[in-house]
Amino acid sequence: MAEHEYYEVNGRQIRVRPTESGQEIDEYGNFHRQPNHFTKGFGEGENPVEADRYILFWGKGCNWSNRASIARELLGLDKAIKVEIVDWGDYEKPLGWEFVNSPDHINKETGAQFLSELYYNADDDYEGRTTVPALVDYKEKKVVNNDYHHLTNHFETAFKPLHKKGAPDLYPEELREEIDKLNVWLFENVNNAVYRAQFAESLQAFKDGYETFFAGLEAMDKRLENQRFLFGDYITDSDIRLYTTLARFDYSYSRNIGPCVHRLVDYKNLWPYARDLYQTPGFGDTTNFAAIKKHYHIDCCPSNEFAIVPNGPDESLWLTPHGREKLSGK
C-alpha cells in the first residue's frame, strides 16, 4: 500500500484521499456508485443503542444524507442523536467534508476538522470517498455507519426505544418486505438513475440513465394518482427516499442533465405530492434550496469556474395548497 499523503491545514496534518482510488466510471462510461463501507447495524452485540453516543453528520445539498436527517426529525431522535451539518472547504487538495459550522471548524465531540479523520479512525486502510450521511460514535471518535441504504431503517427499528412519544411508524412490520422492494427499485430507477445520467462519460451511458430516470418518475406519478403516499394514507420510509430526489429535481438535476422530458412542476401527481411532504414538519425544515443549488452547481461542478448559481425556481410555490389530503381515508 502506498504511503499516506498529508496536507497541512492551520497547523494540522490532514490525510488526503488518493485521487486515483475508488474510480466509479467503467470502460463504457457508466457511473457505478461506490459501495458503502461501514454497514454494521445496531444493538444485539453490534453498535450499542443508547442516547448521547452518536452524532449524525449530513450535508444540506446531499440527497442521500437528507434522508437520515428527515427520519431523525420525524422520529424525534433529536434528543438522542446529535446532528451537525457539514460542507466543503476551499482547499487545493481533496479533503472532503469539513465541520464548517463548528467553532474554528473543529467538531467539539471528536476534535476533528474533517469527516475524513473519523473515517480513518475507523479504518486506516479506507481509500474511498468520505461520504455523508455518516453516523459517528463520538465516544470512540469514529464512523460506525455510512450506509445510506439502511441507516433510516436502523433509526426506525433499532433506535425505536429512543423515539418520541407518538412517533410515526415509517417502517411498519407488515409492509417491510414491500417497502424494501420499492426502495431497491427507487434506487435503481430514480434516486441513482439521475446520477448515472449526470456523471456519464459516454452517450450510451447517459441515454441509459436519462431514460431510466424519466421512466421511473412516470411510474411514480401513476402510482400516486389515487393514493396520498406511496403506501396509502401514511408516510413511510419510501416516501422519504423519493422526496429527497424530487426536492433536487428542478433546482439542480434538471440543469445538469440537459433538456428534460418534464420538470417536477409538470407532473400531475408528483408535484402536489412533493409539496404535501415539504409542508410536513421534518421535510421542509431540512430542505435548503440555496444549499442544494450551491452543492450541485459549485461543489460537484469543477468546470463552473465562475461559481455561478442560477436563480429560481420560485421557492414560494412549495407552500401553495396541494390538495392531496382528499386522497387520504383518515
Active-site residue set: 62, 195
| Grid cell for residue 216 | 421511473
What CA–CA distance (Å, rounded) separates 307 from 257?
Answer: 18
Render 268-297 in DSSP notation, one character per residue.
TTHHHHHHHHHTSTTTGGG--HHHHHHIII
- Given its phi and psi angles, is residue 106 left (phi above 0), alpha (psi -120 to 50 degrees) or beta? beta
What CA–CA distance (Å, rounded) separates 228 from 219?
Answer: 15
Burial state string for 76-92 with b = 16 or more CB within 10 A and e = fewer than 16: bbeebbbbbbbbbeeee
CB 24 within 8 A of CB 14: no
Q: Is the dihedral of CA 149, 70, 86, 197 positive or negative?
A: positive
Residue owning grid cell 415509517? 170
Q: Is the dihedral of CA 206, 265, 216, 154 positive or negative?
A: positive
| Grid cell for residue 67 | 434522508
Q: Is the dihedral of CA 290, 293, 298, 299 positive or negative?
A: positive
What pairs with residue 84 in β-bridges? 57
CB 86 within 8 A of CB 303: no
- Given its phi and psi angles, is residue 22 left (phi above 0), alpha (psi -120 to 50 degrees) or beta? left
Q: How many residues does the chain have?
A: 330
**Single-letter code of the amino acid located at 165:** K
